[in-house]
Structure 1
Amino acid sequence: MASRTLSQFLGKLRHVRKNDLLYNQQRSFYLYSPEPFHPIPGKEPKWMSAEEAVSTVTSGHKIFIHGCAATPVDLVNALAKHGKDSKIKDVEVIHIHTEGPATYTKPEYEGIFRSNSLFIGGNCREAVNSGRADFTPIFLSEIPHLFRRKIINLDVAIIQVSPPDKHGFCSLGPSVDCTRAAIQNAKHIIAQVNPKMPRTFGDGILHMSHCDAMVESEADLPELPNHKPSAVEEKIGSLIADNLVADGATLQMGIGSIPDAVLAKLKDHRDLGVHSEMFSDGVVDLVECGAITNAKKTVQTGKIVGGFVLGTRRLYDFLDDNPFVVMCDISFVNYSPVIAQNPKVTAINSCIEVDLTGQVVSDSIGTRMYSGVGGQVDFIRGAAIGHDGLGKPILAMPSETARGESKIVPFLKEGGGVVTTRAHVHYIVTEYGIAHLFGKNLRQRAYELIRIAHPDHRQALEEAAFERLRCMPSP
């Protein structure tokens, strides 16, 4: 019976195009299961050069690229060269934030590759805003659904892993996020094997037999240098740390100088926990001074939970073989009902612009796309619905732009994308104070927001609020 079933299966494969035949032959060992963890008996990846590994990519393919600190830069550069040399076309490159030059987005690669950012990094911003690349708005928690529900079907996943251990297991290191779902979906997996990748615990373990090609490459991981916060950021950090973060709180921090400024002010807190889509070096300082213990957490008690990290080598060394940290699938980390189980969830994120009713723009400056939806709403909602009723969803920003324009505005810029709605917003913080908007009507919201605006803009905002609301802002 088994041999007849196999014969029927192989017969069907004769009608599949050549490249698909190659992929299916290589991965037919476990077509009944997309799980990348278990060893596949009798299968080993082929070790080869980066150029040979990416040569399997051809016209019309959909490619996933591992992101953030795990971006496989050598393979990405080889892919760009292969695209130009082999004259392939219409290859879609799908990714979240990546590091490195993103060569495939440059003007000379138009028609060969088209990037599709699920979150826009600085290396893709110009291409997106010039029309050479795409952006897909999506909650970070839901990106894995694109792959698991077969909304996007990947031909190739290009990833970076730690070297196999004695049992053949590798780690996705500092970036598990949506990558685990991508490798479950992809027909062909190419792995850049880097001894400088930290080996992390959690969902990012895969067995080498699930990879089709492996490429040795010892290279430093991309780093995000530590920047000294400005006086404004220091003030915002102090306001949040002193007034909104309680002992025993479970922290989520977005990326940027303001969340880092908050962390720097928390060294006298106790029994803090971390359940965050991402984190950076500031968490290491709080672990070393004893402020972070994770002792009060409900989900993964005693452990830091994250989806990806980006920081310096010090952070990557902290992650390496450290059971105190678990890196998990982002559909778990950012799932609001999971977040809500932890105590005193305190979600600290940055934003670009807020109007007088509390609508928050976080992904664009007018029509110019800047970043993405990310996990802001996932955690804003998770904190708001916390089981203990003590969650604090916080959005923070300087009161002015570098040009001296108010970030609190009567009306959002034309084309600005509302990421966090006026119904989701709770706390807005600038260097001038904290506005608590939850449960307040539009008149009261305008009053609270004008109160934390830069003094140079308060009169104009009050006049604009009267024009918009037909009444004076008041508490």
Structure 2
Amino acid sequence: MSQYQSKSPKEAVSIIKSGESIYIHTAGAAPQALINALTDRGDELKDVTIYGLHTEGAAPYADEKYTNSFNVKVLFVGPNMRPAINEGRAEFIPSFLSEVPLMFRSGVLPLDVALIQVSPPDKHGFCSLGISVDATKAAVDVAKKVIAQINPKMPRTHGDGLLHISKFDTFIEYEADLPEIPPHEISDVEKQIGRHVSGVIEDGATLQMGIGAIPDAVLSCLNGHKDLGVHTEMFSDGILPLVESGVINNKFKPRHPGIIVSGFLLGSRKLYDFVDDNPGVRMLDIQYVNDTSVIRKLPKMTSINSAIEIDITGQVCADSIGTKIYSGVGGQMDFIRGASLSQGGRPIIALSSTTLKNVSKIVPTLKTGAGVVTTRAHVHYVATEFGIVNLYGKSLRERAKLLIDIAHPDHKEELEKAAFERFRT
């Protein structure tokens, strides 16, 4: 590294100019030191467009006082961006996660700068994008300027995320703990959902799951299974016990046999240490990972996703609460479709029957303005704590009956009345 000179955060972001567009590294890899230095320049920068997916940590550039400096446009909404999105200070771009890299590579979303966080270079000068390759690889490929935060705490992962230090226009050396998501405490309701879902997962299946209590509950119920694989857009600590016990061994995956494939990950330090220099984990470009034509070639592909609400015909809202954007489209449709086309595949929507305030998540009709992320034509399995049903090949009337069967008892009468008024039976 002797020929490459580290800069201060202020110096590093000084190459960013007004009117340029910036991509910020995803999830737990968001380079906070560079983000803070960029925001500190808010008074002198104008009309800088910031693109990104979900990021952990603060997003100070979305503060109201920087509305003339930064135009924030996100392709997935996390907690740090919800107020800005719903107050009109930032914008949401609906998109399938599999297509985000293509938007960058095709110039639909042009990028001047990529702000990234990487592992230290090896003896050959190669750094790693670590826990987040996803759409970041594409952003780095097309950005005119790449600014990196080199962090010794970033694990070095195998796959598509290796970048030579000469790729960086400038970089800083800045050690900081990565954001950690502690394991969720699994409730009795979530445990029951996990039992129902695990009952339709076959030995030898390949899994896609997200982060949270329900995915962890499902994983906790798979100890008696054999020869499971993982091909997923992201994963967390929930898979670790199954890897350690040999339940997850990726033995029967025709693509990347023996290898866990993912686009990004988020969890505890134990998880980050597990993936560090681990040839059994491959972090790949999300344009490939979430490609339906790739997913469908994995036999028994089992996709487990959640929802905010589902109507009695099977329409799934997963990105908004009415008109209020809550998250995004993400990879749900990529995997729902891929799993449904897989030989022996199981696309599953899993959700609790009610909110914490006992509002039913199975509803006669979606809220006004709610986004349909997964259409009723795409839905197969739906699980709550009261059971799991398969809507595939069923009429609207039949779907309503099945979904009411797994609704909370407190809301069945209302749902049955709505179904009668709609279908006259």
Q: TM-score, normalised by structure 1?
A: 0.88
Give the residue type in structure 1 aligned to 2:167: H
User: Which of 411, 418, 421 is residue 467 of structure 1 equivalent to?
Assistant: 421
Deviation (angstroms), 1:455: 0.5
**Conserved 8 A contact 2:184-2:212:** no
Q: Is the 8 A contact 1:69 1:310 kept in 2?
A: yes
Matches within 5 A, 1:370-389: 370-386=326-342, 388=343
In structure 1, what is the equivalent of residue 356 of structure 2? Answer: 402
| SS state at 2:117 partner | strand
Query: What is the aligned partner in structure 2 of residue 74 from structure 1?
Result: 33
Q: CA deviation at 1:411?
A: 0.7
Q: 2:16: which partner in 1?
A: 57
* Pairing of 1:16-415 with structure 2 (within 5 A): 45-84=4-43, 87-241=44-198, 243-386=199-342, 388=343, 390-415=344-369
Question: CA distance change for structure 1 residues 261 and 440 in 2, over 3 Å: closer, same or farther?
Answer: same
SS of aligned partner of 1:127: helix
Q: C-alpha distance in 1, partners of 2:173/2:412?
A: 58
Question: 1:193-223 CA deviation, whole Å, 9 max, x = no partner?
Answer: 0011000001011111111101001110011
Structure 1 distance, partners of 2:18, 2:89, is 17
Separation in 2, partners of 1:229, 1:129: 30
User: 1:227 & 1:421 partners in 2: Cα distance?
Assistant: 29
* TM superposition shift of 1:114: 2.0
Match of 1:450 in 2: 404
Amino acid at match of 1:458: K
1:277-302 Cα distance to aligned partner (Å, 9 max, x none) = 00000111110111100001011011
- For residues 45 and 142 of structure 1, what CA distance do their matches in structure 2 show? 34
Partner secondary structure for residue 285 of structure 1 = helix
Give the number of the structure whose alpha-carbon radius of gyration is greater: 1
**8 Å contact kept, 2:133–2:160:** yes
Deviation at 1:94, TM superposition (A): 0.4
Q: Does the CA-based 8 Å contact 1:43-1:209 persist in structure 2?
A: no
Counterpart residue type for residue 28 of structure 2: A
Report if the CA contact (8 A) 1:45-1:212 is conserved.
Answer: no
The residue type equivalent to 2:19 in the other structure is G
Identity %, equivalent residues? 58
Contact map agreement 2:255 2:298 (CA 8 A) in 1: yes
Aligned length: 425
Q: How far off is 1:46 after superposition?
A: 4.0
Deviation of residue 340 (structure 1)?
1.0
Matched, 1:441 2:395: yes
Asked whether the 8 Å contact 2:360–2:411 carries over to 1, the reply is yes
In the alignment, what sits opposite 1:14? none
Distance 2:40 2:220 in 1: 43
Q: Partners of 2:34 and 2:422 in 1: how far apart?
A: 53
The answer to whether the Cα contact below 8 Å between 1:45 and 1:210 also exists between their aligned partners in 2 is no
**How far is the alpha carbon of 1:371 from its aligned partner?**
0.3
Counterparts of 2:19 and 2:200, CA distance in 1? 50
Instruction: Tell me what 1:28 maps to.
Output: none
- Relative distance call for 1:300 and 1:177 in structure 2 (3 A) is same
1:95-153 Cα offsets, whole Å, 9 max, x none, are: 00101110111112121112111111110010000000010000000000111111122
Runs of 4 or more above 3 Å deviation: 42-46
Question: Contact 2:353–2:407 (CA<8 Å) still a contact in 1?
Answer: yes
Q: In structure 2, the residue corresponding to 1:47 is in which secondary structure?
A: coil
Encode CA deviations 1:406-455: one digit per residue, 9 max, x unaligned.
11111100010000000000011000011210000001000000000001
Cα displacement (A) at 1:60? 1.1
Q: State the distance in 2 between where 1:96 and 1:377 align.
A: 17
